[in-house]
Amino acid sequence: MPLPCVEKRGWYLKRYAIVAAGRQFDETVASAAAEEALIRLPKAGALHDETGNQGVAFQIVHFAEVAVVSPTFYWQWGSVLAHLDQMRASWDAPEKFGDGVKEVVGCVWEMNIVAFEVRAWTAQLLDGGKSTKAGLTTYLQKHAVAEAPDHD
């Protein structure tokens, strides 16, 4: 499900939540995940800077059965998708995000959102040289609509 975009520290952070069967969405946990991601992201670049990052990221807060995990991705060099190391919070302390498994990019349910974001970024900011504020606004307003099925 889409969450409100956060604009802070020079970043536009587009956000989603996935909620596994038996778990509930918690805004406090989602906000803590956003704050942690904003701390971990590199210094924000400018939208037109193709030698650094574009100051645009997206985050998935996954209320999974075993923990809260939160993959965060950002646009680098115009057309490259970079990611932070996995953030993970135990259900005993769901607002305290530490490191998860470094090599993990995300689960298949999260990758559905990543695939949508890649298509949206390409359509709004890369096709036909649309790297504009209007293209960014449209990108930030488009969200994946498919919900993840019940899963672990």
Q: What is the pLDDT of residues 38-75, one digit of tens each?
A: 999 999 999 888 889 999 999 999 999 999 999 999 99
Report pLDDT for 146: 54
Structural domain includes residue 22: yes
Written as six digits, the tokens of 117 are 């974001």
pLDDT at 130 (0 to 100) = 62
pLDDT greater at residue 46 or residue 130:
46
The predicted model gives 94-116 an average pLDDT of 89
* CB 63 within 8 Å of CB 29: yes
Distance CA 145, CA 37 (A): 23
User: Would you say residue 71 lies in a domain?
Assistant: yes
pLDDT higher than 60, residue 152: no
In a domain, 96, yes or no: yes
Asked if the structure places residue 146 within a domain, the reply is no
Q: Is residue 148 part of a domain?
A: no
Number of domains in the chain: 1
The yes-or-no verdict on residue 36 having pLDDT over 60 is yes
Which residue blocks in 41-73 are alpha helix, DSSP H?
none
pLDDT at 33: 98
Instruction: Please give the pLDDT value at position 129.
Output: 62
Expressed as residue numbers, the domain containing 50 is: 2-141
Question: SS3 for 43-102, per residue?
Answer: CCCCCCCCCCEEEEEEEEEEECCCCEECCEEEEECCCEEEECCCEEECCCCCCCCEECCC
Per-residue pLDDT, 99? 87
In a domain, 149, yes or no: no
Q: Which amino acid is at 115?
A: A
pLDDT of 151 higher than 60: no
